[in-house]
Amino acid sequence: MNEIEKAKAKYQKALASLEEISSDIARAFPAPDRIGTRPVPRPGESTPKIDQTLSKPDSASAPLNAKQTSSGKVVVNSIPLRSTGSTLPKVPRGMGRVYQPTWRDKKSGEERTSPTWWIAYSLRGKLIRESSHSKKESGARNLLKKRLGEAALGKPVGPDVEKTTFEDMAAMIVSDYRANGRRSLPRLEDAISHLRGFLGHYRTVEITGDVVTAYVTFRLDEKAAASTINNELAALSRMFTLGIRSNKIATKPYIGKLAVSNTRKGFFEWEQFSPVLKNLPEDIQPAIETAYITGWRIHDEIFTRQKHHADVKGRGWLRLDPGETKNNEGRNFPFTARLRGIIAQQLERTRALEKGQPDSS
């Protein structure tokens, strides 16, 4: 056995050892059977330069790609790397990797390789491993590029992001309304119930713009009003906003609104209002007339007024405290002659009722 054959034998033994440690590393080295292959130069071209040197072999057994120099050494042409079955470029160092997990069978002792490709990358000092759910290396590389791109844009990254469901978003928005003391929680829960009927089984990554459009069409077929659908879409949009804020959702789909043609036309003048007022029960006439004068909401801003909200002896104001209005800002309405009379009459009725009540002590 000459020197080149001995070197080949040692190389093959070393490659076998690498194979036991990691098949990924071993694939980066050329196979022994590829050594000795040399491209034939075209007419007029010189022989390629030599990359490696070996000790002088027996000239009769020298390989075709070896050439003896005047110094007595034999040089071998560059050896092409063994193909790994993929023509895809390698991911640069530090940009993650794709791989097929390996394990050793406990019964046979043989090394097994998973047919599914995985990706591994580092995010804020934490190593993340994720299955590509693909048996193709190209699918894993595309997923790795997607994850690295999302991380570069500051978006939430990882398999947990894609596991977030509609129910997770619904729980977030309900908690947000309760934490902020929103009085419109019942209306929100009604909107969620309609959204759940169509989107309840969706993951957030599956709720795209076309799915939202399909939901709008579904609700229109149910004869829902455009303003009602818009309220439900507003709730859905808020869900995505909270999900992105909590790093549980990466992107938000386009959520358009329907055009609403409910602009108020004309006014309910006193000549029209007066006959209606006279036919109402006497107990609610003061509240309805106060709402007509002030323009305040009956349920939230008129029925909730108490004695301390009416400044009868001072400058004459009916007051809404901060936090009681839709925009959370306080509001004062100056007494008109008629409004002052209504408030004074109601205060007198209240005192009479208090005196007529039995002593609680």
State the pLDDT confidence band at 18, using cuts at 50, 70 and 90: low
Distance between CA atoms of 129 and 122, rounded to whole angstroms? 9
How much is the average pLDDT of 178-195? 91
pLDDT at 201 over 70: yes
**More confident site: 211 or 82:** 211
How much is the average pLDDT of 139-150? 81
Q: Which range is least confidently modeled, 24-38, 232-246, 315-329? A: 24-38
| 256: Cα within 13 Å, side-chain hemisphere | 11
Distance between CA atoms of 311 and 250, rounded to whole angstroms? 52
Q: At residue 184, what are phi and psi to the nearest 5 degrees?
A: -90, 20
**More confident site: 158 or 214:** 214
Nearest to 233 by CA among 188, 180, 178, 177: 188
Q: Is 290 exposed, middle or buried (0-12, 13-18, 19+ CB in 10 A)?
A: buried
pLDDT at 67 over 80: no
| 107: Cα within 13 Å, side-chain hemisphere | 0
**More confident site: 266 or 102:** 102
Q: State both tokens at 133.
A: 């759910």
Helix count (H) and strand count (E) of the chain? Answer: 10, 11
Q: Is 31 exposed, middle or buried (0-12, 13-18, 19+ CB in 10 A)?
A: middle
Asked if 345 contacts 339 with a C-beta cutoff of 8 angstroms, the reply is no
Mean of the per-residue pLDDT values of the chain: 78
250-289 per-residue burial string, b: 16 or more CB within 10 A, e: under 16: beebebeeeeeeeeeeeeeeeeeeeeeeeeeeeeeebbbb
The pLDDT assigned to 23 comes to 63
pLDDT at 111 over 60: yes
Asked if 283 contacts 353 with a C-beta cutoff of 8 angstroms, the reply is no
